[in-house]
């Protein structure tokens, strides 16, 4: 059967560094995929123009010629979203985006029913329907990368909250006198356990005179340190890097223990770039959960890595459109 005869969702993952657009079938199969840079510093208008172009190119690649070939558009975006109204109220990764009615803008430009969903919530849906959480009724998804986001599945359905912005797990306060987060608060999980938190802690300790192979890995340019650098040094046995990873994992475990006690999930799925550290991160995280959470829910909750990688968000955005019709979209 030709792709154009099977109705697809045009799914977009809008991040601070990249825009991924894809045509996705109801089976989760991706039939075309387009990657482009966000260039977020240019502001909303140029980014929206690039997003629109990516959608058009994806349609052309998939040979989706008419609106009858397309169920709708699903946009997964980072930030605090009013999904009921289709508005990005604010996003730390998209400078200048304040109360941008992205859903309606795209619907009017492209003439297709459009939906907006938080990127981590979309990834939770993707992992639940097609990834590590398939067949599990109650799970929590965390993406641990530059920041920390989350999505919550209860009784097989995405929990979105009253305004559609539930799941901001990264902004759970872990340490009231901790470092300041990009959101402006202090001691958020994101400020303590994310990739950027590891980077910041490395630079702070190196500037205080501590020794580490991290310096050699970046040729002395501390501004070039990333979470990947810290991970590589830790794998090579560097004591400072190992301590930083262990510290972040412990904070992550504290956050997950709170979630285990509150939600009693069957499964916690960890995605995002930092999850590539594997058991170096997850083993101490699991240990902290066992030690801090109540024994029964801690014993029940399995903590695993995500399976879908960078496709989780676009698959989840497509799932959202297929399953939410005719609710919550903006018709052209």
pTM of the model: 0.89
The DSSP string of 244-268 is HHHHHHHHHHHHHHHHHHHH--SEE
How far is CA 284 from each of CA 45, 93, 172, 195, 312, rounded to the nearest angstrom?
43, 29, 20, 16, 25
How far is CA 245 from each of CA 75, 104, 142, rounded to the nearest angstrom?
33, 42, 17
Q: Which tokens sit at 91? A: 């996003």
Which alpha helices (H) appear in 111-184, and where do they start and end?
A: 119-130
State residue 164's pLDDT score: 83
Q: How many CA atoms does the CB half-sphere of 25 hold within 13 Å?
A: 12
Which pLDDT tens digit goes with each residue over 170-210? 999 999 999 999 888 999 999 999 999 999 999 999 999 99
d(CA 229, CA 19): 25
Q: Helices 312-324 and 119-130: crossing angle, nearest 10°?
A: 90
118 forms beta bridges with 77
Q: Residue 152 belongs to what H/E stretch?
A: strand 148-154
Is 214:229 a contact under the CB 8 Å cutoff?
yes
State residue 3's pLDDT score: 43
State residue 71's pLDDT score: 92
Of 187, 197, 120, whose CA–CA distance to 160 is shortest? Answer: 120
219 forms beta bridges with none
* Strand 70-77 with 8-14, pairing: parallel
Q: Which domains does the chain have, with CATH numbers?
A: 3-123+311-324 (3.30.420.40), 134-306 (3.30.420.40)
Low pLDDT (below 50) residues in the chain: 1-4
State residue 331's pLDDT score: 56
Is 270:304 a contact under the CB 8 Å cutoff?
yes
State residue 21's pLDDT score: 96
Strands (E), 15-79: 18-24, 30-37, 70-77
Is 28:129 a contact under the CB 8 Å cutoff?
yes
d(CA 65, CA 41): 33
């Amino acid at each position: 059967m030709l792709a154009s005869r099977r109705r697809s969702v045009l799914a977009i993952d809008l991040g601070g560094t990249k825009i991924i657009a894809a045509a996705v079938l109801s089976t989760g199969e991706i039939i075309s995929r387009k990657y482009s840079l966000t260039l977020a510093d240019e502001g909303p208008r140029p980014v929206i123009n690039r997003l629109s172009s990516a959608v058009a190119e994806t349609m052309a690649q998939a040979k989706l010629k008419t609106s009858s070939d397309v169920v709708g558009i699903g946009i997964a975006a980072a930030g605090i979203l009013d999904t009921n109204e289709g508005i990005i109220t604010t996003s730390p990764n998209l400078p200048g985006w304040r109360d941008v009615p992205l859903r309606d803008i795209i619907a009017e430009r492209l003439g297709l029913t459009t939906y907006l969903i938080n990127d981590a919530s979309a990834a939770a849906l993707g992992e639940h329907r097609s990834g590590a959480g398939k067949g599990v009724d109650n799970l929590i998804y965390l993406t641990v990368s530059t920041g920390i986001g989350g999505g919550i599945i209860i009784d097989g359905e995405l929990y979105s909250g009253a305004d559609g912005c539930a799941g901001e797990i990264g902004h759970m306060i872990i340490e009231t006198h901790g470092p300041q987060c990009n959101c402006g608060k202090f001691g958020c999980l994101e400020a303590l356990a994310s990739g950027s938190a590891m980077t910041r802690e490395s630079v702070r300790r190196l500037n205080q005179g501590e020794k580490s192979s991290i310096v050699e890995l970046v040729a002395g340019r501390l501004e070039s340190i990333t979470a990947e650098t810290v991970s590589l040094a830790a794998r090579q046995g560097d004591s400072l890097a190992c301590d930083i990873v262990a510290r972040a994992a412990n904070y992550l475990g504290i956050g997950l223990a709170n979630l285990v006690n509150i939600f009693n999930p069957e499964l916690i799925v960890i995605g995002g770039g930092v999850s590539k550290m594997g058991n170096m991160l997850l083993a101490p995280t699991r240990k902290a959960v066992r030690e801090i959470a109540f024994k029964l829910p801690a014993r029940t909750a399995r903590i695993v890595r995500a399976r879908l990688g960078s496709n989780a968000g676009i698959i989840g955005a497509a799932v959202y459109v297929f399953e939410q019709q005719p609710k919550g979209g903006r018709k052209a």
